[in-house]
A and B are shown apart, each in its own frame.
Chain A
Amino acid sequence: MKKVYDNATDAIAGIADGAVIMLGGFGLCGIPENCIAALVQKNIKQLTCISNNAGVDDFGIGLMLQQKQVKKMISSYVGENAEFERQLLSGELEVELIPQGTLATRCMAAGYGMPAIYTPAGVGTEVAEGKESRVFNGKEYLMEYAFDADYAIVKAWKGDTAGNLIYKEAARNFNPLMAMAGKITIAEVEELVPEGTLDPNQIHTPGIYVHRIFQGVDYQKRIEQRTVRTRP
């Protein structure tokens, strides 16, 4: 059971035009930088990307948008990306905007083997159009399907050769949910260690969900909104 790959290029082998890909991260926090760079380099096209955001113009998924690699984006918030907004308003890019909790929970459902979930988010709005709804205890809920993604690409802080993952701080976000949800899950980590090294009590994503893992290099970890106080 060899899960360890040398680099991003090897780890994304097999991803072809038209694939449905989940990409972890919130804004630029916790995004799989190495795999995005490899997808850009291989210039794989017609992708459907499920990711909370679409990066910024010159980083993250924004790099894939610049090359017009993305056919459809499924996201909750795209406010920081002018190229994205341009492609969306011009109709070049198909976009499905869905509530953030719905996005997260549809990933979770896929990883938990549940075909659908019920959520009140979006009831009475255009998000509800064409969706089945049901009333529980006097409140209306929308039925939302679990995602069906060919690949999930996530970023973790530490991982081991068995595929177990630990995330750092708010870089956890969508990563563990998407890690559970891919038919093939690819994890890039800042530090890859031999199995048996990580404390089993601290594992966020058990290795059963992870098919390919590699140690990433040259992390930029860009900050979108640098906000600081002056030191007293």
Chain B
Amino acid sequence: MALDKNQIAKRIAQELQDGYYVNLGIGIPTLVANYIPAGMDVVLQSENGLLGMGPFPFEGDEDPDLINAGKQTITTVPGSSFFDSAMSFGMIRAGKVDLTVLGAMEVSDQGDIANWKIPGKMVKGMGGAMDLVASAKNIIVAMMHTNPKGESKLLPQCTLPLTGKCCVKKIVTELAVLDVTPQGFKLLERAPGITTEEIISKTAGKLVVEGEIPEMQL
């Protein structure tokens, strides 16, 4: 069975470590916050100027001055702090944020990522993604393995305008966990019940498969 969005988030949460400062992008990455292991100290950074982001507010407690980078109403946790956008990207640029999780339209087998523009069709802008991918120490992409047309999103070269070059370290899709290595994508884990052959057939970029590939433990 292919993973659903929550299961992708749950698998990514296994990459968290105690003491991490983490920036979660919009979409599936936001869901990772729901699976931080109990007792683990992880501080969420929101690039609009907050460290220590908490869960959504209870109904009636929404505060228009307190939103995350996805413009959703949120709360803070004890120990949180606010700052301006230059400091926010200053801490990102200076490598203080340990892990960045973001979505993508395409990833190449060298770790290039495209996620901000489809020429002539869709222009939303890069937001903070270009800053994050240019500086983050560890970047995990959460995305579907194929696009709605069934075409692979793991490519030899990105076809869309790039967000960053040679920056993605790991990819978690509904089918697989893969590392980006100098040899290309390296298959680490399969989703439960998904065959290695299916992953090979849906991965257009260079794919290294060594030995038996274990199933994800969720």
B93–A119 contact, CB under 8 A?
Answer: yes
- Within 8 Å by CB of A125, from B63, B89, B125, B164, lies B164
Is B86's CB under 8 angstroms from A225's CB?
no
The answer to whether the Cβ of B9 comes within 8 Å of any Cβ in the partner chain is no
Using a Cβ–Cβ cut-off of 8 Å, how many residues does chain A contribute to the interface with B?
A: 60
Asked if residues A100 and B164 are in contact (CB atoms below 8 Å), the reply is no
Chain B interface size, as a band, is 35 or more
Instruction: Decide if B66 touches A169 in the complex (CB within 8 Å).
Output: yes
Q: Does A134 contact B (CB under 8 A)?
A: no
Q: Which residue of A lies closest to B134 (CB)?
A: A120
The answer to the question of B4 belonging to the interface, with a C-beta cut-off of 8 Å to chain A, is no
B85 touches A177 (CB 8 A): yes
Residues of B within 8 A of A70 (CB): none
- Cβ contact within 8 Å between B56 and A227: yes
Is A168 an interface position by the 8 A CB rule? Answer: yes
- Near B by CB (< 8 A), chain A positions 37-96 give 52, 75-80, 85, 88-89, 95
Chain B 112-134 per-residue mask, 1 if CB under 8 angstroms from chain A, else 0:
10001100101111111111001
* Interfacial residues of chain B within 146-196, with CB under 8 A of chain A in the complex: 161-166
Contact yes or no, A170 B82, CB < 8 A: yes
Return chain B residues, CB-CB under 8 Å to A34. Answer: none
A229 and B164 in contact, given A100-B47, A170-B46, A177-B86 (Cβ under 8 angstroms): no
Measured CB to CB, the closest approach of chain A to B114, in angstroms, equals: 9
Residues of A within 8 A of B60 (CB): 228, 231
Does residue A209 face the partner (Cβ distance < 8 Å to B)?
no
CB-based contact B67/A225 at 8 Å: yes
Q: Are B58 and A228 in contact (CB under 8 A)?
A: yes
Residues of A within 8 A of B112 (CB): 124
Known A123-B134, A231-B58; judge A79-B124 contact (CB<8 A).
Answer: yes
Nearest Cβ distance between residue B70 and chain A, in whole angstroms? 6
Residue in A78, A108, A125, A127 whose CB lies within 8 Å of B86: A108
Is A29 in contact with B86, judged by CB distance below 8 angstroms? Answer: no
Q: How far is the CA of A95 from the CA of B126 in the complex (A)?
A: 13
With known contacts A226-B62, A228-B62, A174–B131 Cβ distance under 8 A: no
Residues of A within 8 A of B (CB): 26-30, 52, 75-80, 85, 88-89, 95, 97-105, 107-108, 119-127, 157, 167-177, 204, 221-231
Across chains A and B, which 6 residue pairs bring their CB atoms closest together, nearest first?
A101-B89, A101-B131, A124-B165, A79-B124, A104-B85, A221-B64
